[in-house]
Structure 1
């Protein structure tokens, strides 16, 4: 049975618009956002091309999580022509999250989701939306969470207007684990980092590195130099051993606190873990690690949030595998942090 023939809403979206004007997505044609190094790199990497650090961190930095750009057009259709590094490769995360591009538009001052790329190919051209009235609208396009974007073109009507949008916003920076990178959201725009960026009208910078939030000196150096950073949200615990947590976190936080005088720093402990309900040793360690971080944050006068408290009302239904969040988890994480930051 081919469900795409039975239910057309399940079908892939392929290119269906003739006479398309293709514009390459780069910093000359658009104001790329969501990464600190887009101008100097001339690619879609999240760390500098010249950085000297661990190979795994460099590999993950090529994933375009959090990158986006805004634009205005009166085109009746919006298409994409894309080259990415690979097809989707994780069984527990949707291809639209790993590889997808999300299109939003601004409606009465609020960002509204329109379409995502329902396709699992390394190279393709497709139409995201068509048959629109030729009215000038503002759009935002989010990049994939778990793949490298090699090249991308935006397609509009041949005679349509196109305007670069370059909002000058303060930054909301995230440094964390696979959760922060976006595992396992069904699409890029539903990651809590992007949700918060839209809600708070800030440029969200995603420095989530799946399995590799190890408090590296190279990342510390980057964070200490970020300009116009209103908030810095950290959630490193799940990627740190007990020894690393105790040996590296105090120094890391002290240096950030010293450097970032005008930035509000928030440390989040690990989210709910169902194994704590059936393994006493796991529960004991979970509670000890949380208490260590809480006391450390109090000593350094850094804001601390208990990750368990954020998602406890979901009764452990917020993950796909006991660890990585689904959209349910991401949206509830966003709701909690949105309220917290507005009252901080």
Structure 2
């Protein structure tokens, strides 16, 4: 009888502790006008976590639309005096992939900007990947007026999300007003295979510049297609990055001519609205890595990169002075930089990010 009473009292204590803990935080949904960042302007009033407006659903191929519902590169900035931050959400797809961990595919990442000079600190959290995923961030030091940045999952579609802070703490969402850096790319730009969202090279880029970065990368489907080009050309961007070569093959019949035509069309489309804005075209980041024994793969990557570089040089020769090429040598990947030769690991993401940062800073961004 004594044992039964002790267990009952213990259970009641746990239940009471749970409700007391729940009452110590105030919850707010993470959706509303202009809360989410890393999306084109037309998405400011869209009440989901995707990256493509509904108007494009019937214009793009089905896989592009599906991947466009993933929240790659989407983030939110906020200020809070809370000492504990809890984020809960649900996703629609599988939690992990064979070559990419759950924390990268479906996880969150939280940083805080320490000062106006732009120094960022990372805050690790305790996570639980169940039907409802939760991250709890606590026991961190943050400046009184610091800006928090929460990155959403790279390779999953978020159904809903809420954020809870200490009762009595303030919580205000911020929205950066700047000319964005727009990236149109492939699985590598979408974030494969970063171990967590903040280490995707586009997100790394965003912490290095006082500008919003918009990630329009679609795994296996970054093909310089007209609907996406038409979507980005209306943005008042600081720079356009076209990193689609990994998804553009030249092995098929007349492949070289088709690739050149795609590149010329992409540049022409953007130039209709932005005659002077920098456009950066990138080689396949793994097209020139020493000591790779799979020579057929390397030759394939090299071939498409060489054709693309040729197309860019031709356009530069015709007078486009704000068109730039970034080579595989600029990225500098090596034997330890990728998961499967195509997709960078965190070390490779660092190298890619640094190459873009160097180029963009040289352009005065």
Match of 2:262, SS state, is helix
Deviation at 1:296, TM superposition (A): 1.3
| Structure 1 residues 325 and 286: CA distance shift in structure 2, 3 A | closer
Deviation at 1:77, TM superposition (A): 0.7
Question: Which of residues 231, 235, 238 is equivalent to 2:246?
Answer: 238
Match of 1:40, SS state, is coil
Match of 1:299, SS state, is helix
For 2:198, the equivalent position in structure 1 comes to: 189
Deviation at 1:130, TM superposition (A): 4.3
Tell me, yes or no, if the aligned pair for 2:180 and 2:212 is still in contact at 8 Å: yes
| Structure 1 residues 39 and 275: CA distance shift in structure 2, 3 A | same
Tell me, yes or no, if the aligned pair for 1:87 and 1:122 is still in contact at 8 Å: no
| Structure 1 residues 309 and 130: CA distance shift in structure 2, 3 A | closer
1:3-152 aligned at under 5 Å gives the runs: 17-18=21-22, 19-28=24-33, 31-36=35-40, 37-51=42-56, 52=58, 53-109=60-116, 110-116=119-125, 118-130=127-139, 135-152=144-161
Deviation at 1:59, TM superposition (A): 0.4
For 2:284, the equivalent position in structure 1 comes to: 270
Deviation at 1:303, TM superposition (A): 0.5
CA distance in 1, matches of 2:274, 2:339: 36
Of the structure 1 ranges 196-205 and 236-245, higher mean CA displacement relative to structure 2 is found in: 236-245
Of the structure 1 ranges 66-75 and 15-24, higher mean CA displacement relative to structure 2 is found in: 15-24
Tell me, yes or no, if the aligned pair for 2:32 and 2:45 is still in contact at 8 Å: no
For 2:10, the equivalent position in structure 1 comes to: none
**Could you say which structure has the larger radius of gyration?**
2
For 2:215, the equivalent position in structure 1 comes to: 206
Tell me, yes or no, if the aligned pair for 1:16 and 1:126 is still in contact at 8 Å: no
For 1:159, the equivalent position in structure 2 comes to: 168
For 1:295, the equivalent position in structure 2 comes to: 310
CA distance in 2, matches of 1:331, 1:283: 21
For 1:177, the equivalent position in structure 2 comes to: 186
Q: Does 1:253 align with 2:267?
A: yes
CA distance in 2, matches of 1:317, 1:214: 27
Compute the TM-score of the two structures, normalised by the length of structure 1. 0.87
Match of 1:119, SS state, is strand
| Structure 1 residues 71 and 286: CA distance shift in structure 2, 3 A | closer
Segments of 5+ residues of structure 1 without an aligned counterpart are 1-13
Deviation at 1:262, TM superposition (A): 3.6
Deviation at 1:285, TM superposition (A): 4.2
Structure 1 stretches of 4+ moved >4 Å: 14-17, 130-136, 273-277, 279-285
Deviation at 1:269, TM superposition (A): 0.7
CA offsets per residue over residues 71-124 of structure 1, 9 Å max, x none? Answer: 111112101121211341302111110011111111123221112563333413
Tell me, yes or no, if the aligned pair for 2:29 and 2:163 is still in contact at 8 Å: yes
For 2:11, the equivalent position in structure 1 comes to: none
Cα RMSD after superposing both structures = 2.5
For 1:8, the equivalent position in structure 2 comes to: none
CA offsets per residue over residues 150-191 of structure 1, 9 Å max, x none? Answer: 111110012111223222122001011100000000111111
Match of 1:127, SS state, is strand
